[in-house]
């Protein structure tokens, strides 16, 4: 019997995650949204594509939370997306009530689920989801670091004119303007990128990574990125369902790791069937520690506004 993945929010991100899951055939999907007809229509369209993908996965669109009961994984994408000129933090109050309501329902009907939060501001919403569900922190996480690292890998591969498959990057901190890309852990087939590009060029690519989401919003005018966020989330889903134990940068609850307590922040984790099975600690330089703590401070300020 296939695992059950429920996606809360059938907008661009949610629907694209649904496509990746059913196209791969790795799980059955429930696509939920409060807008009547939208999840049903998108689910039907995807279901009719499954024969072309040779996929036996099922997908069901619904406006009823009970259809998501006993999910193995729940993805939360519901909420408002960024518009031109907005930061991820600007979505704080708009999305708090939405995520809190979603998590209240999840806790009641899928008490054993693993939750992946995509809704922005993601680090804060992950903390809110953990507090609301009262699940083990291992089973509540946020998607962000994978996306940020993927953007950096793309920019580096274009600059170096190499395959992105040969680039590895690591991004810590909050999923926002204060994210901390670590250039000394960014390598091309094991060769540090610091040996291949001048410092000024690396810094410009890091700055573009920090503004990666805003750059796409500026092009779209209305709406925000969804293909890369969906692909990042799918990588997490796959690592959990197949117990791959991939080392991936995700927003995880820190309880002393990196000298930080009681906050969700982006760090490398081992992701398996239990969720966040281990937080991987790397030694940071003095400058990196300063940047990481600054990023933590930004997230804490947002958390304090919600009193969570």
Same domain, 156 and 291: yes
146, 121 Cβ separation under 8 angstroms:
no
Boundary of a domain, candidates 92, 119, 142: 142
Q: What is the pLDDT along the chain (308 residues), one digit of tens a residue?
A: 899 999 999 999 999 999 999 999 999 999 999 999 999 999 999 999 999 999 999 999 999 999 999 999 999 999 987 677 766 667 788 899 999 999 999 999 999 999 999 999 999 999 999 999 999 999 999 999 999 999 999 999 999 999 999 999 999 999 988 899 998 999 999 999 999 999 999 999 999 999 999 999 999 988 899 999 999 999 999 999 999 999 999 999 999 999 999 999 999 999 999 999 999 999 999 999 999 999 999 999 999 988 77
Domain that holds residue 128: 3-142
Domain of 222, CATH number, reads 3.90.110.10
Outline where DSSP puts E strands in 89-183: 114-117, 140-142, 167-168, 171-172, 180-181
Q: How large is the angle between the packed helices 227-241 and 145-160, nearest 10 degrees? A: 120
CA gyration radius, the chain: 19
Same domain, 172 and 85: no
254, 260 Cβ separation under 8 angstroms:
yes
Domain of 112, CATH number, reads 3.40.50.720
Annotated catalytic, 60?
A: no
* Burial class (CB within 10 angstroms; exposed 0-12, middle 13-18, buried 19+) of 49: middle
Same domain, 128 and 115: yes
Q: Number of structural domains, the chain?
A: 2
Boundary of a domain, candidates 108, 142, 176: 142
Same domain, 122 and 223: no
Q: Model pTM?
A: 0.95
Same domain, 116 and 206: no
Same domain, 178 and 88: no
Cα atoms in the Cβ-side hemisphere of radius 13 Å centred on 181: 30
Same domain, 126 and 12: yes
Same domain, 150 and 279: yes
Tokens in use for 28? Answer: 């059955």
234, 21 Cβ separation under 8 angstroms:
yes
| Residue in 4, 60, 175, 300 annotated catalytic | 175
């Amino acid at each position: 019997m296939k695992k059950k993945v429920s996606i809360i929010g059938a907008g661009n991100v949610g629907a694209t995650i649904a496509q990746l899951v059913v196209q791969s055939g790795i799980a059955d999907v429930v696509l939920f949204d409060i807008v009547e007809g939208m999840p049903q229509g998108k689910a039907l369209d995807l279901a009719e594509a499954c024969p072309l993908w040779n996929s036996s996965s099922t997908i069901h669109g619904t406006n009823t939370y009970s259809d998501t009961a006993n999910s193995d994984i729940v993805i939360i994408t519901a909420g408002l997306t960024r518009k031109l000129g907005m930061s991820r933090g600007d979505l704080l109050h708009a999305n708090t009530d939405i995520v809190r309501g979603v998590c209240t329902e999840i806790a009641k009907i899928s008490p054993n689920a693993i939750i992946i939060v995509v809704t922005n501001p993601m680090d804060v919403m992950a903390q809110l989801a953990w507090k609301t569900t009262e699940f083990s922190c291992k089973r509540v996480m946020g998607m962000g670091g994978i996306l940020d690292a993927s953007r950096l890998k793309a920019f580096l591969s274009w600059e170096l004119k190499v395959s992105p498959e040969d680039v590895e990057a690591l991004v810590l901190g909050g999923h926002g303007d204060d994210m901390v890309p670590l250039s000394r852990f960014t390598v091309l087939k094991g060769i540090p990128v610091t040996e291949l590009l001048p410092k000024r060029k690396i810094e410009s690519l890091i700055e573009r990574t920090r503004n990666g989401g805003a750059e796409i919003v500026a092009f779209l005018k209305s709406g925000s990125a969804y293909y890369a966020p969906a692909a990042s989330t799918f990588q997490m889903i796959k690592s959990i369902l197949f117990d791959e134990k991939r080392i991936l940068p995700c927003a995880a609850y820190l309880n002393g790791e990196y000298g930080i307590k009681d906050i969700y922040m982006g760090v490398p984790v081992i992701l398996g069937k239990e969720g966040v099975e281990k937080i991987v600690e790397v030694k940071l330089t003095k400058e990196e520690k300063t940047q990481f703590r600054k990023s933590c401070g930004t997230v804490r300020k947002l958390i304090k506004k919600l009193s969570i």
